[in-house]
Amino acid sequence: MSELTTVARPYAKAAFEYAVEHKALDKWSAMLSFAAEVAKNETVGTVLASGESPERVADLFIQVCGEQLDEFGQNLVKVMAENGRLLALPDVLVIYSQLVTEYQKKAEVDVESAVALTDAQQQQVSSAMSKRLAREVRLNCTVNPELVGGMIIKVDDLVIDNTVRGKLERMAEVLQS
């Protein structure tokens, strides 16, 4: 997996830079999403690994994608096919999406709470996380009654556990040590 990530990075950066230059971030997200799904398909994967000529593989891939790829998306597919890298398309999409999020100064924040948050509570969490991360945040809220009370907030590598269950577990650890 890490090998494909390393292989995918230059393609993702090139697609991102082109999309920024041409103000087509959403269009490229859609094209890469579709192409990544095609690359994940078992039948397509068999063709990609079959040893066919790069031109033939690129043509087949482009035919499968049809109208979903514009001429620049097709060029990316051709270049990746020439280098035998089409299987890395899902990783290209992941890295591209990370670059877009960073560029747009947005963050996806997962909030898991014991009960559904009110609009005011969501606004309060959103405001606090925007201030802490210096980014615009989008909340993905879920309910987990097993938390007893409070919430867990996750964004990238940051995890804030402010649940009753979490506090009880930390208290038990302190008492046992």
Predicted local confidence at residue 73, as pLDDT: 92
Pairing of strands 150-155, 136-143: unpaired
Q: Where are the domains of the chain?
A: 2-102, 105-176
Predicted local confidence at residue 79, as pLDDT: 93
Predicted local confidence at residue 1, as pLDDT: 45
Predicted local confidence at residue 47, as pLDDT: 81
For domain 2-102, give the fold.
Peroxidase; domain 1 (1.10.520)
Is 22 buried (19+), middle (13-18) or exposed (0-12) by CB count in 10 A?
exposed
Predicted local confidence at residue 172, as pLDDT: 92
Q: How would you write the chain as a 3-class SS string?
A: CHHHHHHHHHHHHHHHHHHHHCCCHHHHHHHHHHHHHHHHCHHHHHHHCCCCCHHHHHHHHHHHHHHHCCHHHHHHHHHHHHCCCHHHHHHHHHHHHHHHHHHCCEEEEEEEECCCCCHHHHHHHHHHHHHHHCCEEEEEEEECHHHCCEEEEEECCEEEEEEHHHHHHHHHHHHHC
Predicted local confidence at residue 57, as pLDDT: 87
Based on its alpha-carbon atoms, the radius of gyration of the chain, rounded to whole angstroms, reads 21
Q: What is the mean pLDDT of each run of 10 residues along the chain (177 residues)?
A: 77 94 93 92 82 85 89 92 90 93 86 94 94 90 90 89 88 91
Prediction pTM value: 0.61
Predicted local confidence at residue 2, as pLDDT: 52
Predicted local confidence at residue 128, as pLDDT: 94
Predicted local confidence at residue 151, as pLDDT: 93
Question: Comparing C-alpha atoms, which of 161, 160, 162, 165 is closest to residue 146?
Answer: 165
What is d(CA 107, CA 101) in angstroms, rounded to the nearest whole number?
7
Distances (CA, A) of 119 to 26, 32, 126, 133, 141: 28, 34, 10, 21, 11
